[in-house]
Structure formats: C-alpha cells, structure tokens
Chain A
Amino acid sequence: MLFNNRTERYFVWVFFPLALLMPLFLEQNTFYVSKLTTVMIFAIFVMSLDYLVGRCGLITLGHAMFYGLGGYIFVMIAPEYEAVNFWVYTFYICVIAAAVALVIGFLVLRTSGIYMIMITLAFAQMTYYFFSDSLDFGGNDGVFIYVKPDTSLFGLSLFDLENPTHFYYLCLLSLFNTLFFFRLVTRSRFGRVIDSIHENPGRTTALGYNIFVFRLMAYTMASALGAYAGYLFTLQYGFVNPSMLAWTTSGSALVMSILGGIGSIYGAILGVLVYEGLHFSLEHLTEHWLLFMGALIILMVILFKNGIAGYLEKLLERR
C-alpha cells in the first residue's frame, strides 16, 4: 500500500475529501477559498522542502530561491500581454528551475550540514539581491502579471484560472499529486538509497553508491517542485515580489515543515495548516499575536517530539 502508515492513511482520507468539498461550504466567500488555495500552494512548497530536509538530510535555507524563481522565470519568459498555455509553461518552468538546481546543487552539495545551510542561503540571497536591485523586474516593489495562462490541454480547458474555485481545485490536485509523487519516490529503490545516504553517507559510499549523484537528483527534483509552487503562487494574485525569495520565506517553510513533523511528507500539509491557521486566528484576536504565536510554537516543540505528525502517530499507531 502506498500510504503504509496508518496515520497518514487516515489523514489522506480525511483531508482530501474535506478539501474537495470545501468550496461548497465557502462558495459565498471567495476569500476563504483563496486563503485555502494559498495554504495548499505553500504546502506543496513545504513538502518539497520537507523531502529535502527530512528525507535526504539536505538542510537548505535557500529553497525559497526556487519558489521565487518559479514566479520570476514566468515573468521572464512569458509574453506580457498574451495568455500562454499553463501546462506548457509549467513544463518550461520546472525544466528551467531544474537546470538552475542542477548547477547550484552541483556547487552546494559539496558541503554538508550547517555549511550547506549557509551556502544555499548565500545563493538564495544573491538571487534575492539580483531581483531586488534590478530595474527590469520591478526591483524591490515587485512586478505584476497581467494575463493569466489558459489551461487547455488537447483542446480541453478544465480550469479557468481567473476563477478562484477553479484555481483552488488546480492547487488541490497539484498538492495531491505532489504527495503521491513523493510517496512513490520515498517508497522506491531510489528512496531506499536516499534513506541510506541520509542515515550514513560514508557507509553508502563504501557500498558503491555515488551519493553525490543521488543527492543532486533529489535536490533537482525538490527544487523543480518548489518552483512549481512559486509559479502557482504567482498566478494566484498575479504578483511577484523578491520577498518570495528572501531567506525569511525559506525560514517559514522550514518552521512549518518541522512543526508538521520533519521527513513525514504529509506532515508538511499539517504544518502549513496549523501554522497558517494559528497565524490567521491570532492575528484577528490581538495585536500582539506574535507573542502568542511564539509561545504556542515553543509549547509545541516541547510537547511534540516529532512534530504534529509524530504526535498523531503516537496516538494512532498503537495496536
């Protein structure tokens, strides 16, 4: 079975049906639909990071670079006032981001641990300043995307991106596919090697695996998915800003992934839901929401050994 852990199975069975029905409840209020869309987009991003950090042991503080690139690549390659094809551009963006990741990964994967955190940060910051200082891409203020792509595939147009509910379903589908994909990958033979490398890189080399290549592939894959999430985010409101690439974005994603349960993949969704949910509700309650947010985060680290997913597993996995 693909979702072989009981908690994960429950989660998938509860979350996705609920998410499918959600717009029915919220139809009157497009904001909630949009908000959930944003959450799901970010969950894709966090999931790709979770795979890198939790499964591959490649801790990066530069993942937002690809999130931002997802948007900026689109701005760079798409004509300004003409609707392009969504799928074609998804392909372009993923391929270009993967190419960038291949080059950057080739450099950063020589280091490990904290050194890798810092060197990925370095590359992300360089990209950040590149766009933030640039006059062509709106600089610090960001740029607009005026025309959203159309999503026809073989003449069949399933989603209208201008319609928030359609966009919501597109993102939900993407999220499910991402989860499904990562599950396949972690369960595969490739996944076995990745697990081994995570646990003991030296031993894996001694067994004859070229760990660099495996890491590079994982890095490239996760980066391309991160870019895809950024692309979706950009399309949601048609707005790109360099802050998408800032280290704070990477930091938030890392926080959500740890909160959700690092390495559990589906925990990414939990992490984003809980973090964003707390943020959303506290922000409305009090001006000093930061205080409560911080206190709750501290409390959760202390109480949950392996994030929220770990906590749920402790509750549900008892036979």
Chain B
Amino acid sequence: MNNNVILESQVILETEGLCKYWGGLKALDDISLKFHDRELHGIVGPNGAGKSTLLNLLCGHYKPTSGRIVHEGAPIDAIKPYAFARRGIGRSFQKTNIYPNATCLENCSVAVQRRMGGSFNFLRSRHRQEVLEEIATEALEKVGLLSRRNEVAAHISYGEQRQLEIAMVLATSPCVLLLDEPMAGMGHEESQLIIELLKQLKQEYCIVLVEHDMDAVFELSDKLTVMVDGQHLTTGTVDRVRDDPRVKEAYLGQGDEVY
C-alpha cells in the first residue's frame, strides 16, 4: 500500500468515543476511528464484534449510547436517520433489504430518484424522465444484474439479491459507502465482479467494508480495523494487521489456511 495516499486524503467521516449498549451488553465500546476520502477501510472481527452495529450507527439506523459521529466536520449523531443518506452516506445491509415486489430496475430507480428530486411531484408520471432510469440501469450493470433488469426482485436468487442490494446503494451515488458483508452469499464470479467494482469505486469514494471473505478484504483494503467484542483491537495496513498475533488469535486462526 502506498502510505502517502493515506496521509494526503482527508478525513471525511469520524467517530469519537462511540458506544452502543444493549442493556448490559457493550456491543460497541469507545470506538474512535477516522475514515478517509478515496480509501477503502476494511473492518473485520469475530461474529458479534459489533461491526454491523458500527455501520448501523454510522448510517443513523441506531442512535449511539454515547460518543460522536462527525461527517465533513459537522457532528451528525443527532440528525434523523434519513438525513444521513441525504448527506451522502449510503449503506447496504447484511440481511438482504430490498423491495421484493418491485422489479430490479424499480428498486434502483427509487434510489436514484432520491437524488434527482421530484419526489413531491404528484402529477408527473414517474416514467417520464429517462435519465433516471438510465442511471438506475447503469447501477445494475455495474453489479452485473443488467439481464435481470425487469425481473421482480423476489424472483431472483439469493445471491442476485445481494448484488441488487449493492446496486441500490450505488444508485444513490453516495460519497461514503457503508457495505455490510456485500459478498456474503455470492458466488465466485459475482464476488470477483464486486471486488473489481470496489477497486474502481474506492478511487472516488470513501468505502467502509465489513466482510468475512478474507481474500476480498486483504485485496481491497487500504486500511484495516479489527474489532473484538465491541472493542477496537487494532488499525493499520493490511500487512501489519495480518501478522498481528492478537488478530490471529481472535479472528483469523493460526496457520495460513483461511476458510
């Protein structure tokens, strides 16, 4: 990795002492992280480490128990969930979260429309402006779902739904992408496609990637954070983290074999 790039790019999203408790359970405890522009920041950790919780806080889905989230210099932990997306923080979900009865294209169009406006136009037909559908189609194409464009989302396979999930985030054209296990349930080819896509995207956006597919994480991440039981374990370049014995013990397991 090129360390210079990391230093040059600016911090776009930042957490300060972020905590989330569920009753007595500290799902997230005092996490302070900086996410840089044009950089892919991987987050890994054992199951239940609090990775999804972190993303849920970053996108406004949960309210933090304490701590702050700063986006482009402004604290945003008090704003409404939808406002996060309006600030350009888009996210995909670990558990597939789409519009099952709408076509793939329609799924993406909803996302595009948020940005394009006109949502309070009661009278004009939604199909009137092709630009919107063009962008939506583009997003589908990027994730390799073009051929499924007019298929109803409930009728495509699980893996394809995972692809759609990503297409929808792309369609909002966010500046920060929060991806929760985008590759889970996807086949090799599709995973490879997404990896290529992310490689491209990280030239422009800030991406936070939670993923258990180590090949992908190691290949993509500019920076890697490891979390264990709600605590921050370490953050650094891929190589450094991979060789950290604590990480091996808590997460990767000994030996070279990665399952």
A and B: direct contact (Cβ < 8 Å)?
A: yes
Say whether A210 contacts B124, CB under 8 Å.
Answer: no
Say whether A209 contacts B82, CB under 8 Å.
Answer: yes
The residues in A between 150 and 208 inclusive whose CB is less than 8 angstroms from any CB of B are: 184-185, 187-193, 195-196, 199-200, 202-208
B123 within 8 A of A: yes
A199 — nearest CB in chain B belongs to which residue?
A: B99
Say whether A207 contacts B102, CB under 8 Å.
Answer: no
Interface flags, B54-72, vs A, CB<8A=1, else 0: 0000010100000000000
Say whether A188 contacts B102, CB under 8 Å.
Answer: no
Stretch from B43-51, B105-113, B198-206, B207-215 at the A interface:
B105-113
The distance in angstroms between the C-alpha atoms of A252 and B121, with both chains bound, is 32
A195: chain B residues at CB < 8 Å are 99, 102
The distance in angstroms between the C-alpha atoms of A214 and B114, with both chains bound, is 13
B86 — nearest CB in chain A belongs to which residue?
A: A208
B176 vs chain A, min Cβ distance (A):
13
Could you say which of A190, A196, A205 contacts B120, with CB atoms under 8 Å apart?
A190
Query: Assuming the A-B contacts A202-B97, A203-B97, A209-B119, are A191 and B82 also in contact, with contact meaning beta carbons closer than 8 angstroms in the complex?
Result: no
B127: chain A residues at CB < 8 Å are 187
A187: chain B residues at CB < 8 Å are 125-127
Of A184, A187, A189, A192, most B-chain CB atoms within 10 Å:
A189
A211 within 8 A of B: yes
Chain A interface residue count, CB cutoff 8 Å, equals 25
At the interface, is chain A mostly helix, strand, loop or mixed?
helix
A217: chain B residues at CB < 8 Å are 120
The residues in A between 125 and 141 inclusive whose CB is less than 8 angstroms from any CB of B are: none
Say whether B100 contacts A199, CB under 8 Å.
Answer: yes
A188: chain B residues at CB < 8 Å are 121-126
The distance in angstroms between the C-alpha atoms of A133 and B82, with both chains bound, is 43
Query: Assuming the A-B contacts A187-B126, A188-B122, A199-B102, are A207 and B109 also in contact, with contact meaning beta carbons closer than 8 angstroms in the complex?
Result: no
Say whether A206 contacts B126, CB under 8 Å.
Answer: no
The distance in angstroms between the C-alpha atoms of A292 and B113, with both chains bound, is 49
Could you say which of B81, B97, B113, B168 contacts A189, with CB atoms under 8 Å apart?
B113
B172 within 8 A of A: yes
Query: Assuming the A-B contacts A207-B114, A211-B82, are A184 and B102 also in contact, with contact meaning beta carbons closer than 8 angstroms in the complex?
Result: no
A184: chain B residues at CB < 8 Å are 122-123
The distance in angstroms between the C-alpha atoms of A200 and B101, with both chains bound, is 10
25 pairs, CB–CB < 8 Å, chain A vs chain B: A188-B122, A189-B119, A189-B124, A189-B126, A190-B120, A191-B122, A192-B109, A192-B110, A195-B99, A196-B99, A196-B102, A199-B99, A200-B99, A200-B100, A202-B97, A203-B93, A203-B97, A203-B98, A203-B168, A206-B61, A206-B97, A207-B85, A207-B114, A207-B168, A207-B172
> Which 6 pairs of residues, A with B, have the shortest CB-CB distance?
A208-B85, A199-B99, A208-B86, A189-B118, A192-B126, A196-B110
- 9 other A-B residue contacts (CB within 8 Å) besides A196-B110, A207-B168, A214-B119: A184-B123, A188-B121, A188-B123, A200-B100, A203-B168, A204-B110, A206-B90, A209-B119, A210-B82
